[in-house]
Amino acid sequence: MTDKNTELEQEQVFDPLDMNNYKVEKLPKMEKSGFEKWMARLGGPIAALVFILIYWVIDIPLFDNLDFSGLSDKAQARLKVIGEPAFIRACYAMLAIFCSSIVLWITEAVQSYLTSLMVILGVILCGVTTQKDAFAQLGHPVMWLNILSFVLASMLVKTRVAKRFALWFVLKFGKSASGIFFSFLIINVVLSMFISATTVKATILLPIFMVVAAIFGASQGNRNNFGRNLVLQNLFQINIGASAFMTGSGANLLAISLLMGAYSSVSVIYADWLVAAFPLAMILLLIGWFVGVKVIFPLKPEERQPQIQGGMERLRNELESMGSMKMEEFKSIAIFVGVLVMWVTESLHGVSAEVVVLIGAVIALMPGIGVVKWNDVDIPWHLMIFSAGAYVIGSGLNATDLPSMLVGAGMDALGITAQTPFIVLYILLTGLMLFSALIFQSKNMRTLVFVPIAIGVEQQFGFPPLSLSFPVSLLIEHVYVLPFNSKPAALLYTTNHYSWSDTFKFGITMMLIAWFMILVWGETVLHWLGYTPGLF
């Protein structure tokens, strides 16, 4: 009886407009399903069995009858160093390491960073690459871009300028239901310029849109279409906003490193990605708003009006409690604007994105000038180690030319010949990249699997560099259909504003539209920019 009274008292004192009630640590945690628990238990033994079978047991004719003259320059260089027998064993090893690591990452039998450490160890011990090459991936320029981007993102979080901007924008332009939806759309796009972690964006915005949802009658398990739209739109915007910028997520940066590793004569800079991806992202965001608010979850008249009187005043009070803008906030804005301007104008001054962000981080950390100390910086080192392992796999794939070999064998098995039209392969690869997000949680893993395949197809069929791999890279961030498809999806599902069927209906609709849009983009914008030869 006492417990029931305590629960009743807690319900009575719950304030739906108090942002402190929506901190991430107070949200319910998603428990693994029975199937996921079994996957985790079996993942280790399955991965070990896969490695043993590929490396020691199975005979792979593709490797045993290898045409060494057809290898890439990087593979040829490795071949000269270690000789033909060792190179063939390295191919077996790389395939075994790649397949077993994918099993571990999918089943989450061990932590992702531990899998990456085992990958690095395996690549070295099996002679796929040298110890120096494997360890050097932790110093990869894109790794530095990742790390230093977190320094700048921490600056925004510490100074609370991101929260201030979001509150101000909602209060300024969110005077109606439509105004609120469009406010969060703009907020997500702007934050994507500065913050390369989608989970960080979700964490910053969640308390704000939860309070707004409560103001419009969606709170404490009381679902309505306003709440469904607001949370699902934010999930979609967090991810698609990241796709608009090369630095929008670590997976985008991983894709760039794979592209540059495969094509040393071709470069994709910040402005190149922006020109190709930003308009596509904005079109998809606007379509997403229309599909969600007007088609799948249309708002009833009463859902368009605030249900709690004075609700927006609570947001205003929250903003006012932050006081006037402080010098640290002005400095944060100045540093970030300076970094963005230099990123966009890289073709004019020639300073790489990695050096630009290093300049910004040095200024941000500089005593007396900057706004953060090293202890204020939140760098997820487990993600950095995971990324390093992913880069090592990319290095190993390049050293053995494995993607090109496997793609050639796969195409032969499927009966796809050199006469196969470009559009068929374009549709196939973009579809694989998109719908793989229904199965794989990790964007990095999908990038690591499908971008090399696209590169291999380009090389195998003699298509222009980036004609397939770049469009595939633009689809990395489509991870919003089901709660387990990404960390932001898992986080926002715990808000209890929508069901699995709700997120699937909206998400699969937008995924199909995105597939259609990337086909249109391949025939138009990407063709005009010189990436694709055109689809028809």
Full pLDDT tens readout for the chain, 536 residues: 455 554 444 444 556 656 566 555 566 666 666 777 888 899 999 999 999 999 999 999 888 888 888 787 888 889 999 999 999 999 999 999 989 988 888 788 898 889 999 999 999 999 999 999 999 988 888 788 878 888 888 888 788 888 888 888 888 887 788 888 999 999 899 888 877 778 878 888 888 888 888 888 777 668 889 989 999 999 999 999 999 999 888 889 888 888 887 777 778 888 899 999 999 999 999 999 999 999 999 998 888 887 777 677 878 888 888 889 999 999 998 998 899 899 888 888 888 888 998 999 999 999 988 888 888 887 878 878 887 888 888 888 888 988 778 877 877 777 777 778 899 999 999 999 999 888 776 787 788 888 988 988 888 888 999 999 999 999 999 999 988 778 788 888 888 888 889 999 999 999 999 999 999 999 999 999 999 997 76
Residue from 44, 34, 30 nearest 107 by CA: 44
Q: Is 525 helix (H, G, I), strand (E, B) or coil?
A: helix
Are 395 and 491 in contact by the 8 Å Cβ rule? The answer is: no
**What is each CA distance from 246 to 192, 235, 252, 383, 390, in whole angstroms?**
10, 19, 6, 18, 18
Please report where in the chains the tokens 């071949």 appear, as a residue: 79
Helix (H) or strand (E) holding 51: helix 34-52
- Classify residue 8 by burial, with Cβ atoms within 10 Å: 0-12, 13-18, 19+: exposed
Alpha-carbon distance 93 to 127, whole Å? 8
Count each helix (H run) and each strand (E run) in the chain, helices first: 26, 0
Q: What are phi and psi of 222, to 5 degrees?
A: -85, 100
Structure-block tokens of residue 432: 């694989």
DSSP state of 224: -
In 34-83, DSSP assigns E strands to none
Structure-block tokens of residue 129: 């690459």
Task: Count other C-beta atoms under 10 Å from residue 377's C-beta.
Answer: 20
Length of the chain: 536
Structure-block tokens of residue 10: 């807690």
Alpha-carbon distance 135 to 121, whole Å? 10
Alpha-carbon distance 499 to 482, whole Å? 10
**Non-local CB neighbours of 520 within 8 Å, separated by 6+ positions:** none
DSSP state of 503: H
Are 471 and 259 in contact by the 8 Å Cβ rule? The answer is: no
Structure-block tokens of residue 497: 């504003």
